[in-house]
Structure formats: structure tokens, C-alpha cells
Amino acid sequence: MANHAIIYRLYPTDSQKLLLTKTFGCCRFVYNRLLSVQQERYKNGEKHLSRTHANNFCNRQLKPAYPFLREVDKFALTNAIYHLEDGYQRFFKHLGNFPKYKSKRKATKAYTTNSTNENIKIGEQYIKLPKLGRVKAKIHRKPKEDWLLKSATVREFGDGTYQVSVLFEYEEVSVLTAPVTEEQVVGLDYKSAGLYVDSNGKCQNMPGYYRMAQMKLAKKQRKLRHKVSGSRNYQKQQKRIARVYRHISNQRKDYLHKLSAAIAKQYAYVCVEDLNMRSMSNKGFGNGKATLDNGYGMFLAMLDYKLKERGGKLVKVDKFFPSSQICHCCGCRNPKVRDLRIREWICPDCGAVHDRDTNAAINIRTEGMHLLAA
């Protein structure tokens, strides 16, 4: 079985917005109360509450003590409890940090509800959700008939817009693996000043949406500085700033989706370096803003699933592979090229002239083909 999510834009009424705000608050309240209970039980030497016992505690003690919890969707509260338990399990397995309390101002405003007895339904211009009823939505795409609706996650963004991510489950159809031929394989070398350079010598740049909007952002943030913190006008200006950030994010996603789709249609196998983009964005490299603006990590994630859908694969070469230092013509290694300031170099053995990025992309492609053949 495989999962697929479709995201729709929501346009709730004022009464629906109020109920959504209550639901976000109740989920945060239950999460924080259960976190306090678990910590108190640990201090007293009591056993950690499982998912089932934590849910029973919410139904038998929290809801009678706090009647406002009955006003919202019960599945939203249950999923908030499960979310906390998932955090504990990741912590126990040393896969994450200890769960933290959710802040009213900083926490993501979102909740998940489950599908049962057709309580979630996608109509022509609406989506039916538990407690909310029919919510006006932009239905740009319909699921396939054999897809089973599993859950829906509603989220509010900082600019006041809403969206719902509807999760479907379906039987995965086996896709024939594409043959590994030279025409079907391409290598990509990351370029912080743009996006990448491929093994064919093509340099793909990014528009730099954040940098394009910097002047506009600076103007709006200066206005925010002169308003009284916490006032109504202060909150309005915060939404204006959030709207700009959301627009930048949408522009970047749209550009990368189209670019990754074009590559997945042209090639079956894409070879890249297995880079740690979080480390690349650190201030020590001096290019953190450019690294975050081009969204290379998001681009690789898009490439990964789009290639798999077509029977291809994203091949990741080890990040310590000296792709820039090896001459792709004769295989000679030149340690001097380790200096990032060297953009072109001449092979000391064969005399070939290399562009640093193009040569690295060709070597990544060659190494990727070796990994595919292994």
C-alpha cells in the first residue's frame, strides 16, 4: 500500500474560523497537559502512559474537568495525544530531542482528523470536515476512484490563509525499472550561487525569490518596528509580512516542482552528492542566505519521488567523494583544487582544461553509474 496527499486551499467562514482557532487551542492544551502528566509520573516513579491509557485519561479526566474540549473534533485531540507519544518514542530511540511544550504564539496552528463514516468528503467546491461541516475550497484536483481517504490535516498560516492536506491510501502498482543507459543518466553538482551544474555543462540558476523581495520585506518590517507591540495594528502588519514570506515560499516551490518534473521526464537516473544542507547553510561558509534561498534540499526530495514514480532513481554519491579534484579525462587527482576559489584548472597529466563544476558533475555521474552497476 502507498500513500498520497492532495493539498487544497480553504476559505472558511467567520464561524468556521472561530471553531478552527478553538480546535488548534484545544489540541495544544491537551498536548501540554499530557506532557505535564507524563513528566509528573516519571518523577513519582510511575509507568509511562501508553497511547491507549493517555487517550483514556483525556476522555475520563480532562474532558469532564474542561467541558470546552467537547466542542471540538475528538479525533483532533486523539491525534494530538498520538503526536506526543510519537515524540516520546523518537526520544527513547535516540532519534530526536525530548518533547517540548507548545507555545500559543510560536506553535504551528494545525490538527489532524481521521476519516470514518464519510465524515470527510470532497465535493465540487467544498470539503466536508468533522464539526466544521462544508468548508469552501478550491478543488483543483480529484482523487482516483480506487483511492481510500484516510485523514485530513488542517493548517492556518501566519498570513491568515488556510489549507487542508487530505491523505489517501491506494494499492501501489509496480513500475518497470528503467534501463541504465548513458542517455538516461545525468549528474548534478550543487552550486550555491545558483542551483546546480549538470554533466552536460548546463548551469541552472535560481531566480532568488527571497533576494528579489528583500526591499519589500525591509519596508514592511520598518513599519512594524514603529507600531506598539501586541496592538491590533501590530498584528495586522505581522500578517502583511507573513503574506510576503508565504508568497516567496510558493514561488520557490512552484519553480522547483516544474524543474524537477522536467528532469524526471528527460532522465531516469539522476546522480547527486549526498550533502548536508543544514551544515552548508551555516554562517561559516558565507553563503547561508543563498543556500536557503535556492531550496536545493527540497529540490532533491521532489526529484526522488518523481523519479520513483517513473521507474527511475535518485543516486546519492558519498559527500567525501573528491568529485572536483579528479580529472574526468584521465582520472588524475589534483589536491590543489580543494581550494574553493579555484574555478578552472588544468590537469597536470593530460593537460585538459576543466571547469570546476562541470568536471565535478561528470565525475558524480560516472560514480553514480558505478553504484548502479554494483
Active site residues: 189, 273, 357
Query: Helices 296-309 and 232-266 meet at what angle, rounded to 10?
Result: 40
Helix H or strand E encompassing 212: helix 209-212
Q: Where are the alpha helices (DSSP H) in the chain?
A: 14-43, 51-57, 63-65, 74-92, 209-212, 214-225, 232-266, 277-280, 288-294, 296-309, 356-373
Q: What's the rounded Cα separation, in Å, for the pair 318 and 164?
A: 37
Could you count the other beta carbons within 10 Å of the beta carbon of residue 167? 19
Q: What's the rounded Cα separation, in Å, for the pair 153 and 209?
A: 28
Q: Are strands 2-11 and 133-138 parallel, antiparallel or unpaired?
A: antiparallel
Helix H or strand E encompassing 345: strand 344-346
Q: What's the rounded Cα separation, in Å, for the pair 164 and 152?
A: 6
For cell 478553538, what's the residue? 22
3-state helix, strand, coil in the chain (%, to 5): 45, 20, 35
User: Where are any strands of DSSP class E within 260-340?
Assistant: 269-273, 313-317
Q: Are strands 313-317 and 269-273 parallel, antiparallel or unpaired?
A: parallel
Measured CA to CA in angstroms, residue 22 lies from 32, 132, 245, 363 at distances of: 15, 12, 25, 55
Q: What's the rounded Cα separation, in Å, for the pair 345 and 156?
A: 51
Helix H or strand E encompassing 178: none
User: In whole angstroms, what separates CA 65 from the centre of its chain?
Assistant: 37
Q: What's the rounded Cα separation, in Å, for the pair 86 and 99?
A: 9
Among 197, 195, 199, 179, which residue's Cα sits nearest to residue 187?
Answer: 199
